Structure 1
Amino acid sequence: MKGMVLAGLMLPGICCAEIVIQGQVTDKLGEPVSKCDVYFNKSRWISDDSIHARCDSQGRYEARIPAGFYNSMYVCDEEKYAKTALEFWGWNLNLIESQVIDAAFDTLEVFSLSTWSSNGGSNSMFASFRPMSLVTPKFSMKEINGEQAAVIDITPEIDSSSIRGFVDGKPVELLSYNWAYEKLNNCKSFPKEMDTPNGCFMPMVIAQFKKPKLSEGQHLLKVRLVDAKTQNLGEGITHFSSNSAGFGF
C-alpha cells in the first residue's frame, strides 16, 4: 500500500519516543492464528502514516511505533477478510508506553467502539458499537426518528449473555443493552430500488456496564461479542481516562 510504514521504522519528521506494542492473536477457541496482519493507524483508518506488522506462525506480533494517540488499530487475515473472518479493532488508543495488546478475531466485529461515564445518575459506564457479522445482508425499511428509513442489517444473534465487558482485564457486569441506529455517510451499498431520501442506517448497540472503582489515569475497555446461536466472536478495545474520583471520561 502506497506510503505504508513498516513496523520498526520511524516516520519522517517524527521525533517522538519509540515504544513497543506486542501481543498474541488467537481464534474463538483461544488457539493461536497461523497468519495475521496488524495495523496501527495514526490519523485515520488506513492511510499513509499507518504502520503494518505481521504475526508469526504462533500468532505473535511486535511493532515499534512512535508513542502517541492513534485513531485505531486492527488485526485481521487479509486473505480471509470478509470471506471467512472479520477483524479485531482498537479505537482511540493513547499508546504512550510499551504494552501488550492481545487480540482475538473471528466472524464477528465490534466496530467503532466508544465509551463514556455516567457522572451522577448511576454508577455505570456506557459503550456504543456497531455489531457486525459474516451473514447475508438484510435490507428493510424501518421507522427511525418518525420517518421511514432504509436499514442494512448484518448483526449477529445477540442476547444478554452475548455482550461481555472487561476493564483493565477484569470482567464488568452488563446492566442493560439497547438497540439504536447509526446513520451512514451514504447509501452506496443499498439496492437502487430502495427509497432512501431519509438516509441509510445500520443497527448499533448501546450497552450499560456497572462501573468498577477506577484509579486516576488511563484504562482500557474491551468488549467481547459472542453470537448467541453460533458462539462465534468479535472483540474491540478503547482507551479512556478517569480523574481521582473515577469520573471524567
Structure 2
Amino acid sequence: MTDLSSSPTSEASVTDATKFIAIDGPAGSGKSSVSKAVARTLGYGYLDTGSAYRALAWHVLDRGADTDDAEAVRAAASDFPVRLGLDPDDRTVRVGEAEVTEAIRDPRVSGAVSGVARVPEVRAQVNELFRRLVSEAPYPAVVVEGRDITTVVAPDAPVRILLTAAPEVRAARRAGELAGENAAAVAAALHKRDASDSAVVDFLNAAEGVEVVDSTELDFPQTIDAVLTVIERLRGAHRG
C-alpha cells in the first residue's frame, strides 16, 4: 500500500526520470485512452495521475469534509492510504480497504477535484508519490499522464509530450464518452474545468522542449501512431 503521508515532500527527492514517458493535456484531449494504448503497445506501465487526485477528493468527502477547505484537504492528505496499480489493463484504485475505482468517477467527486489540486503542499506530496511509483516500477518505463507531468513532476524526462486538440473537438469527444449527456452542458463543464485547473498549472501550452501532438484532425489509431513516433524518436535520441 502506498501511503501519501509517508512520502517526502522535497521536490529534489531521488527519482529515475528516464523511466518517465510524460504526457500532459487538457480534458477531452484523449490522453488517458491514448496513454493506455501506448503503454500496452510498448509493454510499459501506465499511471493516471488524475486518479490520485480523484481518490483524495473522494477521501476528503468520505470524511465529511469540504474540498474547498484547504486545512481539511491537508488533514486528509496526511492520512491517505492510496493504492494505484501501473498495469494499463487493471485500473483498480483503493483507499485503505475501500475499492473506489468507480466511485472516484462520480460527478460529486469530479466537481470536488479542483479544490484538492489547488493546495500546493498536497500537490508536492502527490508528486512525490508519482515519482516513487515510477522509480520502483517493474517496467522499463511508465507512461504518466496528467496536467503537470512534463513541467513539474518529471521536467527532465527524455520524452515529454503535450497532447491537445481544438476545444470543440475535445468537447465533442467528451460528450460522446458520456452517453445521454447534453453536448452543450458537457462543453460548458469542460471549459469550466480547464479554466479552474489552468489557474494552478498551464497544461494548454507546451513548455520549452515539450513536443506537441495535436489530434484535432486525427482519429484514435492515428493519434496513437503519432505519439509512438515521438517516443521512438526521443528515446532513440536520448540513448544515442
Which TM-score applies when normalising by structure 2? 0.26
Name the structure with the higher strand share.
1
Q: Which has the larger radius of gyration?
A: 1
Which TM-score applies when normalising by structure 1? 0.25
Greater relative contact order (Cα < 8 A, sep 6+): 2
